[in-house]
Amino acid sequence: MATLNRQQLMAKLPNLPRTTGRRLCGAVAGIQRMVDINYPAHFELIRYVGPGSSPYAIREGVDPLRHNAARRHVMNFDGSHESFRGTLNLALRGGESYPYLTGAASIVAGLASAGAGIMFTISTSYLDGTRISQNVQAREGDQIWQVEYLGKNASNILHVEHFILADPFRKNAGNVATEWCIHESIHEVSI
């Protein structure tokens, strides 16, 4: 592979589509653990190079102009991951907390205390309320896949990781939707 500089790579990499904004709280750690158990490296296209503004770099041997996407099987829901499937489905529903009710009760109880506590309650209730509820659930026979992309946005080289929930049975039945992006993470890549 010929070494490309940043400008050459920016000129030739495809533009990435808009982000999905999908984030799984908590359950994504279980999926990431399965990737780490099944594969020698968490990512196929990039590697961790250390803390900093761009802690990731393109993995040696990867030609990003020929190989800018990767797809790896992570797990099957075949009865051996029932506890995790329950945790995942709970996360896909948005969790089981009641942020606004809890926030209102905390504010009423906290009026006698300092204003900082009230501001903390308001901000954490807002953050908790922004979790995305997804209208999909993992079922027996479903699979999880890790999909990676290298591309660019206006001024950065980016690596996008998606965790995809796939249903091979719906695909065989001819239904349209057979895969759903349930989590997305984006990393800036240095060159």
What is the reported pLDDT for 96? 56
Judge if 101 and 174 occupy the same domain. no
What is the reported pLDDT for 172? 60
Q: Is the pLDDT of residue 165 over 50?
A: yes
3-state DSSP call for residue 181?
strand
Asked, for residue 135, whether it belongs to a domain, the answer is no
Both tokens assigned to 9: 């790579």
User: What is the reported pTM?
Assistant: 0.74
Q: Measuring CA to CA, which residue among 39, 45, 35 is closest to residue 68?
A: 45
Residues 6+ apart with CB under 8 A from 30: 84, 87, 88
User: Given pLDDT bands bounded at 50, 70 and 90, which one contains residue 18?
Assistant: confident
Torsion of CA 55, 59, 65, 71, to 10 degrees: -100
**Amino acid of residue 98:** Y
Domain of residue 39, residue span: 6-87+141-190
* Number of structural domains found in the chain: 2
User: Given pLDDT bands bounded at 50, 70 and 90, which one contains residue 21?
Assistant: confident
Q: Is the pLDDT of residue 160 over 90?
A: yes
Judge if 22 and 111 occupy the same domain. no
What is the reported pLDDT for 133? 56
Judge if 35 and 107 occupy the same domain. no
Specify the long-range contacts of residues 26-30, CB closer than 8 Å, at least 24 apart. 26/87, 26/91, 26/95, 27/84, 27/87, 27/88, 27/90, 27/91, 27/92, 28/91, 28/163, 28/183, 30/84, 30/87, 30/88
Annotate 97-147 with three-state secondary structure.
Answer: CCHHHHHHHHHHHHCCCCHHHHHHHHHHHHHHHCCCCCCCCCCCCCEEEEE
* Per-residue pLDDT reduced to its tens digit, 49-100: 988 778 999 999 999 988 899 999 999 999 888 989 999 999 888 765 544 4
CB 129 within 8 Å of CB 147: no
Q: How many angstroms separate the Cα of 50 from the Cα of each of 5, 64, 171, 189?
A: 21, 21, 41, 12
Judge if 147 and 122 occupy the same domain. no
Judge if 10 and 65 occupy the same domain. yes
Judge if 124 and 152 occupy the same domain. no
* Per-residue pLDDT reduced to its tens digit, 92-148: 887 655 444 444 444 444 544 444 444 444 544 444 444 455 578 899 999 999 999
Cα–Cα distance between 147 and 176 in angstroms, integer?
20
Judge if 50 and 103 occupy the same domain. no
